Every structure is written in structure tokens, then in C-alpha cells.
Structure 1
């Protein structure tokens, strides 16, 4: 049987910067994202599910800090959250394995994390591009940096193609997955000057 695919059309979404009071939306989109593609996240579904309202509020409060940024795409009428991207600053490469002491130093850099778009909003809908554009604007305009680093699971070919299409290139570096040491997350970097 031949699969027939129709071209995705641009979908109308608004961008929103979640805060502590958006804790329920933050929880919902995180759980949906991990359930949809668990390899893309260093946090397990069980660990995210076990978080309390206070934990989710704390995550939302981080978005008000000057070194952290998150943006979500949501539909205009029902306000359904359909995509998210976040970024944070680190000194040198980020330390994702919390069981190891952070010993890495270097210049300040911006790191893209928590990337997910609902499957029905992927493709040529423009959602991922709008989210990435908002993150790049924060990196350039607020942080005065010109590069955005990210780590993407080596088997996530769709995401790798999206990043390459937007100017990202592999740096040659990678990190082992903290929960699955035989799997790697490839480091990529893209210019935020657009």
C-alpha cells in the first residue's frame, strides 16, 4: 500500500512565554513531549510525572531569570500548547549529567533544550521555525551572543535535517546519553544572526 501524504499548510499559532502560573501547561507539554520521543530528553516520563505542582512552578519561574528563556506555541482559540523550545546560558558546554560534578569552564554560550512540536503541527506548518526564531532573537538581542548550541539524539534524523536547514552544523562533539550510555547526542551549532 502506498502512503499518500498531503502537504502541511501553515498553521496559526501564537507564541507565549510561560511563567510559574503556567505550571499545568508546562507539565502537560513536557509529559506529551517525553511520551512522544523519549530518546530526545534526558528526563524520563516517570521522573517528570512524579514532579509536584511546586516543582513545575519552579520550572516556570526560571523563565523570568535573565539567563533562561522558554517559548511555547499555542493555538489561538483553545490555547492548546503545540510546541516548545527553551534556552539557557552556561559557562562552556553544559553539564547535563547531574550525577557528575560540573568542572567544565569556558566562554558563555547559549544552549537550546526542551525542543518538541506536536506531530500534527510538524512539517511545513512553520511552528518549529517560529519557535527557533524567537529563541535566536533572545540569544542575539538579549544575550548579545551570535551562536546557539544544541544536542540532538543521533537517531532523530528529522530534527537534524530541520537544524541543518536552519544553518546548523555538527561540531564533531557529542555527549553520551546519561540514561543510555551506548547512545549519543550530537552537538550542533547555528548562527543566530539572521
Structure 2
């Protein structure tokens, strides 16, 4: 794991953003890990991927972090969305405080358990805590009720179940569980 560089994506890396997302959606866990399907991602235009990479490379709204191997291959990613108080989230719920929201967590199967996910989360949280005006006091994420492996990792990292449960947008009979991580004192 020490050989990896954990860093934000750059705007010109849209082809790698696309490749890693499609790899994530091919993973057997994808149906309980992502709200997008492989077919949807493969159907998106190059312009979509260019805009996605550009939007996640600078500014305060969204940031995507990748784990880049010495050979240049990306083996993992996590994105952060800043949600503003008073807006509505993807589950149509009111956002009560300005906060970070981790999404798109993926590490290639051969790197799982290597510390790569921890390194990605550490970089994402460091970025979140560095933001000012307003300072973000918490980060959240959602995990599918059947994604036990991810839930165990989030708890081990320090996220705590908030008790908030929402229906999964792509399957309202399934539940998404909210986990939160409060800014360290």
C-alpha cells in the first residue's frame, strides 16, 4: 500500500474516472453499493465523463480522491459531496447541517484489506476538515442493509450508525443505513 499516491483527480483524467467507475459497477457488490447501473454508466457520453472529472478536481462542492499505483493504474476511489444545510439530499430528505457526504467508494478486489480504503478515507476526511466558511462538523455516508462488509469497514474506521434509515432509490423495498463521523475535537 505504501507505494500508492492518494490524491484528487485532475480534470484531464476523465478516461480514468470512467474506467474505474465502470470497473466498480462490474463488481458483484455493485447492486448494493451504487445507485447507478453498469448500463447507465456505459451509456454516458465522453462529455459527461469530462464534466464529472472537471467538477471533482477543484472547488468546494465535490472532490474525488484516487489511489494511484506506481504504474499509473487507479486501484480505488472515494468522492466527497458537500451538502448544504437547508437543501434536499438524494433521498428527498432535508439536510439539517452543512456536511460532507462520502459516495462512490470502490477499491479493486485485489487491493481490498491492504489499507487502501483507509488511506482514501483519510485523504477525504482531511480535505473535508480543511474546508472553511462554514466549517463542516460531520461527514456521512449510506450503506445498503445487505452490504455487511462495507458496514463493518465503516464502523472500524470510526463511523457510527445514526439510526436514520431510508429506502434505496432504485429499490424502495431495500434500506440504506446512514453512518456519521463527527469532526474530531
TM-score when normalising by structure 1: 0.85
The equivalent of 2:84 in structure 1 is 91
Whole-Å Cα distance in 2 between the matches of residues 105 and 193 of structure 1?
21
Report the CA distance between 1:133 and its aligned residue: 0.3
Give the aligned CA root-mean-square deviation in angstroms: 1.8
Superposed, which structure 2 residues align to 1:1-194 within 5 Å?
Answer: 10=1, 12-36=3-27, 37-38=29-30, 39-63=32-56, 64-76=58-70, 78-92=71-85, 95-96=89-90, 104-123=94-113, 125-143=114-132, 144-193=135-184
Report the CA distance between 1:91 and its aligned residue: 2.5
SS in 2 for 1:182: strand
Deviations 1:151-184, CA, capped at 9 Å, x for gaps: 0111111111111111111111122111111111
What stretches of structure 2 of length at least 5 have no aligned partner?
Answer: none
SS in 1 for 2:171: coil
Flag the structure with larger Rg: 1
What stretches of structure 1 of length at least 5 have no aligned partner?
Answer: 1-9
TM-score when normalising by structure 2: 0.89
Whole-Å Cα distance in 1 between the matches of residues 88 and 11 of structure 2?
24
The equivalent of 1:3 in structure 2 is none
Report the CA distance between 1:48 and its aligned residue: 0.6
Whole-Å Cα distance in 2 between the matches of residues 23 and 109 of structure 1?
26
Report the CA distance between 1:105 and its aligned residue: 4.5
